[in-house]
Amino acid sequence: MRTWEANIRNVEPYVPGEQPKGADLIKLNTNENPYPPSPSVEKALKELDYDQFRKYPDPKASDLVHVLSEYYGVGNDEVFVGVGSDDVIAMAFMTFFNSELPILFPDVSYSFYKVWAELFGIPYKTPVLQEDFTIRKEDYYKANGGIIFSNPNAPTGVLLPLDEVEAIIAHNQNSVVIIDEAYIDFGGESAVKLTRKYENLLVVQTFSKSRSLAGMRIGYAIGHPDLIRSIHDVKYSYNSYTMNMPSLILGREAVKDDNYFKECLDKIIKTREEAKKRLKDLGFSFPDSKANFIFAAHKEIKAEDIYKALREAHIFVRYFNLPRLDNYLRITIGTEEEMKQLFDFLEAFLSN
């Protein structure tokens, strides 16, 4: 072995969903929004003053922080923004999870949590979700170094009602509880309204799903000013300029156009509810989803076989070859037309 090799950090990385190239495909595998960003984002993009790119962006991301704080009715000092919620959550892990006690997150959840815990050397335990994929809140009533879960959960789409979320926060006021609300806009009640009640609560959201801006990489956290100050200190100890100028400008425009945002959400929710009926008729079962995807298993045909057949037809969904998950497909809600093509294919495939 070469001497320097002994000093290399070996980690098992998170595997993101595939980004297949080509125009003639239906992409329902990474929970992106099927609708374009707001027309006001397009306008701002066209009007970008490219000369300003000579300069560094605002390290405080003040304008974007300000529109978010106005939107949520909190102070500027209660908002942190980062390069997608992945960046925000990674910073939060570094900032808040420094106990010798294990942090807790569900066994079935966003698989990046385990990767960050390993990367940062944070001990962790993963309480097992119940048979129906719901969280048992009492599993989180024990000593811990912090808690994180997504709500609605991924990849199941299952929503934990806000009173149960609150019970978990209330029982854990000695550690930081992070609620990852990447999918909350598609039908859940946000815990943002609890951030003034619980100083130990950090709520993380993203522009990647409900705001159609996955490509711009914008995420944010809302919480007590002391939490936000601490996470800023870690950020400035790592990289002062995480947010690039176009993202700061275009993100701001997206938040301002609330009508467009709500119209897109309504369309996706309506399409999701129709998709649930179609899937049931085709012999699929699934936990009820409040996200922009459905986690479905077929009563006869193996998920992997359906996944492969769909792929050959250029329809991409997500398949996880993991214990407990390997008979499910995670299907992102696309446009009505995309879903029609998905169901046309499934109907033909399953009747063969």
Shortest Cβ distance from residue 140 to ligand PMP (Å)?
A: 17
Minimum CB separation of residue 79 from ligand PMP in Å reads 15
The closest of 328, 337, 346 to 153, measured between CA atoms, is 328
Q: Give me the residues paired with residue 180 across strands.
A: 150, 204
The residue sitting closest to ligand PMP, measured at its beta carbon, is 84
CB of 280 to ligand PMP, least distance (A): 24
Is there a contact between 334 and 267 (Cβ–Cβ < 8 Å)? no
**What letter does residue 238 receive in the DSSP assignment?**
T
Per CB under 6 A, the list member of 29, 33, 144, 150 interacting with ligand PMP is 150
Between residues 110 and 295, which has the closer beta carbon with respect to ligand PMP?
110
By rule CB under 6 A, what string of x and - marks binding of each residue 62-101 to ligand PMP? ----------------------xxx---------------
Q: What's phi and psi for 104, nearest 5 deg? A: -120, 135
Specify whether the backbone of 73 is left (phi greater than 0), alpha (psi in -120 to 50) or beta: left
**Interatomic CA distance for residues 6 and 50, integer angstroms:** 45
Task: Tell which positions 272-301 bind ligand PMP, by CB under 6 A.
Answer: none
Q: Report the residue number, 67 or 282, with the smaller CB distance to ligand PMP.
A: 67
Q: Applying CB under 6 A, which of residues 72, 93, 97, 110 lies at the interface with ligand PMP?
A: 110
**Least distance (Å) from ligand PMP to the CB of residue 348?**
31
Q: How far apart are CA 296 and CA 289, in angstroms?
A: 10
Q: Report the C-alpha gap between 145 and 226 in whole angstroms.
A: 18
Distance CA 51, CA 181 (A): 36
The one-letter amino acid at 257: D
Tell me whether residue 15 or residue 48 sits nearer to ligand PMP (CB atom): 15
The distance of closest approach from Cβ of residue 337 to ligand PMP in the complex, given in angstroms and rounded to an integer, is 24
Residue 139 beta carbon to ligand PMP: minimum distance, rounded to whole angstroms: 19
Q: Which of 68, 182, 202, 216 lies at the binding interface for ligand PMP (CB under 6 A)?
A: 182
Least separation in angstroms between residue 163's CB and ligand PMP is 21
∠ CA 59-87-155 to the nearest 5 degrees? 150
Q: Which pair of structure tokens corresponds to residue 105?
A: 């997150």
Nearest residue to 89 via CA among 202, 245, 233, 230:
202
For ligand PMP, give the closer residue by CB, 33 or 85.
85
**Beta carbon of residue 65, minimum distance to ligand PMP (angstroms, whole number):** 16
Tokens of 45: 């993009």
Residue 63 CB, nearest approach to ligand PMP (Å): 19
DSSP assignment, residue 190? Answer: -
**Nearest CB to ligand PMP, comparing residues 82 and 127:** 82
DSSP state of 7: G
Decide: is 208 part of the binding site for ligand PMP (CB under 6 A). yes
Q: Residue count at the site for ligand PMP (CB under 6 A)?
A: 12
Closer of 133 and 345 to ligand PMP (Cβ): 133
Q: Are strands 79-82 and 124-125 parallel, antiparallel or unpaired?
A: unpaired
Q: Which of 32, 78, 180, 253 binds ligand PMP (CB under 6 A)?
A: 180
Tell which residue, 181, 137, 141, 186, has the closest CA to residue 292.
186
First to last CA, the chain: 55
Of residues 188, 219, 223, 287, which one binds ligand PMP by CB under 6 A? 219
Contact in structure between 315 and 345 (CB atoms under 8 Å): yes
Pick one of 206, 230, 247, 332: the residue that binds ligand PMP (CB under 6 A).
206
Binding positions for ligand PMP, rule: CB under 6 A: 84-86, 110, 150, 154, 180, 182, 206, 208, 214, 219
